[in-house]
Structures are given as structure tokens and as C-alpha cells.
Amino acid sequence: DTAVSQTPKYLVTQMGNDKSIKCEQNLGHDTMYWYKQDSKKFLKIMFSYNNKELIINETVPNRFSPKSPDKAHLNLHINSLELGDSAVYFCASSLGLQDSGANVLTFGAGSRLTVL
Amino acid sequence: GQNIDQPTEMTATEGAIVQINCTYQTSGFNGLFWYQQHAGEAPTFLSYNVLDGLEEKGRFSSFLSRSKGYSYLLLKELQMKDSASYLCAAMDSNYQLIWGAGTKLIIKP
């Protein structure tokens, strides 16, 4: 059983299109995240949700919209895709937010987005 | 500002020992994490330090000095499968993780 699963694994699309990436965790964790990893391998936090509530919303273009229907799911929708959006997007989850020891992240396998 | 510094790339020989250093500057501090990431895969958790000292876990150990803003990851008896990127991340007073760019470790036979 995959702990954090995200789909699709690969996504190739044209500039200007809209796409979604889905994420689900079966660990019973309260907190979920979206990270972007660019070609230089730098991990950058985009969003964090704790029990369906938005906690972290970094400086991300408003073309990116997260949605958490319940605490086990956090989806990412991207409008009007641009070349610079090409990256690997990782979903992750952790037990909680305030207890640093509970903040060990379990990552999904990643979704590689290529915008042409 | 907040930042993490770690070497971009290191090379070591199979069977040897390697130490990957990480220095951090954060607003407050709630712990230091190390993750391993193989090429094309997700990062996986290796270690967590919040108190000064050495934490040992099999072939891997992690050290923290809070007064110096410094940590290292020590890998012993290196194996080819240890070739990966090692990511250092510090947690600030708001429990947010500040990530380093990762150290790519190349193991040679």
C-alpha cells in the first residue's frame, strides 16, 4: 500500500493549458504539502494544509490553486501553464504541524510536469 | 534572512567514510532534518536532531551544534547505493522547514 500517492507521474502539455495533479495519503496524517523541485533540485514549499485548512501559502502565482476536500487528499490545479512551471511537484504529508518531531515528511513519488 | 548552506557535490570511495556538512541560519530553531533523495525518486527521511550531539543510526550518524548553527551527516562503510543527494533542512520558530539545495554524493568503486 502506497503511503502517499500522486497522479499522474508524468505530465506533458502545451503552454496555456490547465492541468491538475492529485494526491492522497493513507497514513492518517493531519498535514499535507505541495513542494516544487526545479532543475537545480532545490525543494520549495508551495502550500501546506492542516486538517483541510490552508496554513502555508508561499509566494506562488495565483494560477496555482490547491484544494483539500478532506485531510487525506490535497490536489493541485494549475491554470494557464507557462514554460517556467516545468518541474517535479512533490506531495508530502506529516503527522502534525506544531510538534517538530511530528514533522517528518513522507513524500509521494513526484509528478514531473513538462510544459512545451 | 534564513538560509542553509551545504556543498553542491562530493565524491567518495566505496567502503570509505564521508561527512556532509550543513550550516544554517534561521529565525528560531526547532530541529534539523536530513533526507536522502535518489535520482528520479522522492526524498526519504534519514535523521532528526534537536539537541546538541551525535545521533547514530546504523551506518549513518547525524551531529548538531546549535551554538554554531552547524550539522553534519556521517556515512560509514559507503556502498554504491548511497549515491544520492542529501538534503539538509532546518525548522524555524514557525515550524516551517528551510531547505538546502542538497549535496550530490558520488560513490566510486
**B88 contacts in chain A (CB < 8 Å):** none
- Which of A44, A97, A104 is opposite residue B95, by nearest beta carbon? A97
A101 contacts B48? CB cut-off 8 A: yes
pLDDT by residue (tens digit) across B56-74? Answer: 999 999 999 999 999 999 9
Is the Cα torsion angle A47, A49, A52, A54 positive or negative in sign?
A: negative
The pLDDT score that the predictor gives to residue A100 is 58
Nearest to B36 by CA among B85, B74, B1, B75: B85
Q: Measure A70 CA to nearest chain B CA, in Å.
A: 22
Residue A84's φ and ψ, nearest 5 degrees, are: -70, -10
pLDDT by residue (tens digit) across A54-83? Answer: 887 778 899 999 999 999 999 999 999 999
Residue A64's φ and ψ, nearest 5 degrees, are: -95, 125
B99 contacts A44? CB cut-off 8 A: yes
